[in-house]
Amino acid sequence: MNKTQLTMFELAGLTNDKNLVPFLFLFFFVVYVVTILGNVGMMAIIQVFSSLHTPMYFFLNYLSLVDLLYSSTITPKILADLVSLKKSISFTGCAFQVYFYAALAGVEVVLLSSMSYDRYAAICHPLRYALIMTKPKCTGLVLLSFAVGFLQSAAQTSCLFSLEYCGSNFIEHFYCEIPPVLKLSCSKTHQCDIVTFFFVGTLGICSCLAMLVSYTLIISAILRMKSVHVRLKAFNTCSSHLICSSMYFLTIFFIYLRSDTRVLSKQDKVASIFYSVITPMLNPIIYSLRNQEVKRLVLQSVKKCC
């Protein structure tokens, strides 16, 4: 039974220094605009150009969608709080924010591991690639990513907001995240700690293992290639995915898989900003800058528009 007595949470926000507010607002506004333009642009390019209708770009299209939605669950609230005198969020609003950011984070984790499998099939089995990565299989992997992400989020959110909150309503963070919200509960949180640790650990470790196995086989295949040019080309197709995955997983593990996840430091807040705001902006930039085909099509589109 939901015994919650609070109807509103107060957020700490990013800073109490009024001199920093204009700079932070401009910074996050620019980041959010670039995130929207980058991810929408990436999806548009993939949809328009038939040469990009391949499994790799099929996954990248959904990764851009997830990044766009993921950033939109947090960044607009940050911008609103920076210009508001009172930084607050309703109990229901907090529950929705936790649910959607946890769900989309889970979707992104599974999508990244699916993309590593796609790269393994492309490099290690190039002649059978079309038979391995069929459209039904790609669609199934995307549907699995969304199913896993939203189901695990439902379990975490229902556990978190079924607790009793009868004391302070001050969240020591700039948005509703599971560790600082758990800190406010009057109930015993051991069960929710286990649920959060289980899902974050299971998703993270399984995805990391899948990528580790995939890239071990990929590197082994690349080293057997005789041509240096072919080696570089094969490595370039994987480097963008490796960079994006590493940034995301390192910050997620730093926040959640520690001895006491309910005690947040300034470093935790910086890590939260990085994986919730900065990473969704960087992903399309990294993929476009390190991909010759995407750069060529972008330049081609710009020339046509001009």
pLDDT computed for residue 241 by the predictor: 77
The residue behind tokens 């910086």 is 270
pLDDT in tens, 192-201: 889 988 898 8
pLDDT in tens, 158-187: 999 988 888 788 888 888 888 888 888 888
> How far apart are the C-alpha atoms of 148 and 230, rounded to whole Å?
36
> How far apart are the C-alpha atoms of 236 and 244, rounded to whole Å?
13
Banded pLDDT at 58 (limits 50, 70, 90): very high
Greater confidence (277 vs 4) lies with 277
pLDDT at residue 236 is higher than 80: no
If you average pLDDT over residues 104-113, what whole number do you get?
A: 92
Sign of CA dihedral 41, 44, 49, 55: positive
- Are 45 and 143 within 8 A, CB to CB? no
Banded pLDDT at 256 (limits 50, 70, 90): low
If you average pLDDT over residues 15-25, what whole number do you get?
A: 86
pLDDT at residue 72 is higher than 70: yes
If you average pLDDT over residues 94-111, what whole number do you get?
A: 93
- Are 85 and 128 within 8 A, CB to CB? no
- Helix, strand or coil, per DSSP, at residue 100: helix
**The token pair that represents 109 in the structure block:** 């984790």
Domains observed in the chain: 8-305 (1.20.1070.10)
- Helix, strand or coil, per DSSP, at residue 90: strand
pLDDT computed for residue 235 by the predictor: 76
pTM for the predicted model, two decimal places? 0.87
**The token pair that represents 283 in the structure block:** 């992903």
